[in-house]
Amino acid sequence: MTVATSQMTERERYIAALTFGQPDRVPFMPGWGRKSTREAWHQQGLPEGRDQIDFLLETLGLPRPASGPRVSPGVSFRMIPTFEEKVLEHRDGHYIVQDWMGNVTEISDQYDYTYIRNAIDFVTRKWHRFPVENRADFEAMKKRYDPEAPGRFPDDFRERCRKLRDRDYPVTVSVAGPFWQMREWCGFEPLCMFFIDDPDFIAEMAAFWTEFVSRTLAPLLDAGVLDAVHFSEDMAYKEKSMISPAMAREFLLPAWKRWTGEIRGAGVPVVDMDSDGRIDELIPLWIEAGINVCDPIEVAAGNDINEFRRTFGRKMAYTGGVDKRAMARGGDAIVREIERIAPVVRDGGYIPSCDHGVPPDVSWPDFVRYGRLLAEVTGWL
């Protein structure tokens, strides 16, 4: 990686790092611990009441990002109105809940229903029923996705856009991809059966979602306030994609291509695809679609950041890719892990980070050690 000599803003550095430019340093993005992780860390050296990243930066002697209020475009891609969140039943140590997406879900009563749809902690859930079981259900669901529904855009949207024109930090909007969204409507197993038994229904749902996202994105793209669009798909297991690449090409690629064409046509430099699991057979489709970044590159699923760079070259950039299991083992295992990813860091087009949420078996001292090594390889120390 060739390093620029001038000091960059956070926004400039992020874009340069992911577009194979010349960042002064690679962005420092170690990852974040969820609730159970933070609770363990507070017993291991993270002071109560301190933000984990702020205290890590202080411990390592690294500068904090520029202070001051940050403005969000505030646009919602959620259904409007949402379903009422409510507990339907409490039995045998579990809540049966209707969540805001209309799913009937079961969760341990040591949590509440907010854990179902938010990444608060590492929580196991069980789904009982989904809101779209047939075409009639889908017709009703479609009414909740009006791009012009009151509340879709904040009342001060134009003022927010005006403030964002001089931003020095990156602005990202996150959107569900077609596979993710159809799974939310139908449930994973019923959705997979629709792919086989009723592909016309799949095509209909995908086309509807493509149009909704395109129309909702349009004012954001016209305003020029985005540096990245992040698509969530989560469409791979530990070894393979959840549907075949041929199915992804037929039913999902048209949406990806349309959106990416509109996004890149508006001058947005980063289009990022998020999927857990093993993604090597999906990356060629994402490249074809015009997507230029993917994450989180889970090592336990067989993803190898070095092999990806050899195979796909500079057609794809990455974030993530640091094995959380090595972080948990601590000591020399962390050193070897940073050494493993270092060639891709030097080559560019890569912001290293934990390959998912940081789990509680990673101790605070080991997280600090990992952070120090990460700061060294990315040019901060």
Per residue of the chain (381 residues), what is the pLDDT tens digit?
444 445 899 999 999 999 999 999 999 999 999 999 999 999 999 999 999 999 999 999 999 887 678 999 999 999 999 999 999 999 999 999 999 999 999 999 988 878 888 888 888 889 999 999 999 999 999 999 999 999 999 999 999 999 999 899 999 999 999 999 999 999 999 999 999 999 999 999 999 999 999 999 999 999 999 999 999 999 999 999 999 999 999 999 999 999 999 999 999 999 999 999 999 999 999 999 999 999 999 999 999 999 999 999 999 999 999 999 999 999 999 999 999 999 999 999 999 999 989 999 999 999 999 999 999 999 999
What's CA 22's distance to the chain center, in Å? 24
Q: What is the pLDDT of residue 167?
A: 93
pLDDT at 117: 80
Q: What is the pLDDT of residues 199-221, one digit of tens each?
A: 999 999 999 999 999 999 999 99
Which pLDDT belongs to residue 112? Answer: 84
Helix (H) or strand (E) holding 174: strand 172-176
Looking at residue 5, its pLDDT comes to 43
Rounded Cα–Cα distance for residues 371 and 142 (Å): 45
| pLDDT value of position 101 | 95
Contact 354, 331 (CB under 8 A): no
DSSP per-residue codes, 10-41:
HHHHHHHHHTT---SS-------B-HHHHHHH
Q: pLDDT (tens digit, 9 = 90+) per residue, 38-73?
A: 999 999 999 999 999 999 999 999 998 876 789 999
Q: Give the span between the Cα atoms of 356 and 368, in whole angstroms.
A: 17
Residue 7: the pLDDT is: 87
Q: Which of 83, 203, 222 is nearest to 161 (CA)?
A: 222
Handedness of CA 309, 242, 187, 177 (dihedral sign): positive
Q: What is the pLDDT of residue 3?
A: 42
End-to-end CA distance of the chain: 16
* Domain spans of the chain, in order of start: 10-78+132-377, 84-130
The CATH label, of 3.30.70.520, 3.40.50.300, 3.90.180.10, 3.20.20.210, for the domain at 10-78+132-377 is: 3.20.20.210
Among 355, 357, 199, 193, which Cα is nearest to 279's?
Answer: 355
Provide the pLDDT for residue 308: 98
Please choose, from the candidates 371, 248, 228, the residue with its C-alpha nearest in 3D space to the C-alpha of residue 294. 228
**pTM of structure:** 0.94
pLDDT attached to residue 6: 59
With contact defined as beta carbons under 8 Å apart, do 280 and 306 qualify? Answer: no
Distance CA 34, CA 351 (A): 21
